[in-house]
Amino acid sequence: MASSETRPFGASAMNFFKKLSCATFIWFLLGTSLSFAESIAFDKAQLVTVKTQNMGKQWLMLLWSVDCPPCFKELAIIQKLQGQHDDLAVVIINTDANDEINAERKDIIEKFDLNNFNNFHFVDGQGDQSRFFIDPNWYGELPRSYFVESNGKFHGKSGLVNKSILTQWLVN
């Protein structure tokens, strides 16, 4: 057994640090698991990160706006699929490049219970740039869905996508 002279801290201090380390680790885990709840500012670097994280699997990138009723229908379909399948590969991006709608955007994501997915939003005043680096041939029509193959190839579709197509892409 080590003498008290070789230990920099006493037994009670060591217990304190063990408890502190455990609490910090739990806080980190909770903070990480809750990080999807907040929308992240979307930029070119985020797009690269999302592509890299999803490489090797089929996934869906869904773009929507608070002023787009068909977008809400598509969000509702994703909500239902999420209730049936807990491993959906979906990235959700709000295209309203306007900080004034932050609360409304958050309310909609919560209403459709989509906090478990990566949620992004276009940066205020940078909507055109964001659209361009996603797809230079896309002019902003919504809803917009990108069906991304496991090799990273994007297939864009504007307009409401029906449930059977989404199910086939995400579940099968």
Q: Are residues 27 and 110 in the same domain?
A: no
C-alpha dihedral sign at 47, 99, 95, 65: positive
Reported as a single tens digit per residue, the pLDDT across 95-148 is 999 999 999 999 999 999 999 999 999 999 999 999 999 999 999 999 999 999
Identify the pLDDT of residue 172.
75
Taking residue 16's Cβ as centre, other Cβ atoms within 10 Å add up to 12
pLDDT score, position 12: 57
- The DSSP code for 140 is -
pLDDT confidence band for 10 (50 / 70 / 90) = low
CATH of the domain at 165: 3.40.30.10
Q: Which residues fall within 8 angstroms of residue 33, CB to CB, at 6 or more apart? A: none
Average the pLDDT over 40-66 and give the result.
Answer: 97
> What is the distance of C-alpha 59 from the center of its chain?
12
pLDDT > 90? residue 165? yes
Cis peptide bond N-terminal to 143, omega within 30: yes
- Same domain for 46 and 33, yes or no, is no
Tell me whether residue 3 is in a domain: no
Tell me which residue range forms the domain holding 155. 39-171
Percent helix, strand, coil in the chain, to 5, is 50, 15, 35
Q: Is 161 found in the same domain as 129?
A: yes
Kindly state whether residue 141 falls inside one of the protein's structural domains: yes
Same domain as 79, residue 22: no
Please check whether residues 73 and 117 belong to one and the same domain: yes
Q: Are residues 104 and 152 in the same domain?
A: yes
4: in domain:
no
Shared domain for 109 and 120, answered yes or no, is yes
The answer to whether residues 23 and 53 belong to one domain is no
* Structural domain contains residue 1: no
Total domains, the chain: 2
Indicate whether 2 belongs to any domain.
no
Same domain, 106 and 120: yes
pLDDT digits (tens, 9 = 90+) for 70-99: 999 999 999 999 999 989 999 999 999 999
137 and 61 together in one domain:
yes
Judged against a pLDDT cut of 50, whether residue 28 lies above it is answered with no
Residues 18, 92: one domain? no
CB 42 within 8 Å of CB 130:
yes
90-94: strand order across its sheet? 40-42, 118-122, 90-94, 59-64, 144-148, 154-158
Instruction: Assess whether 71 and 143 both reside in one domain.
Output: yes
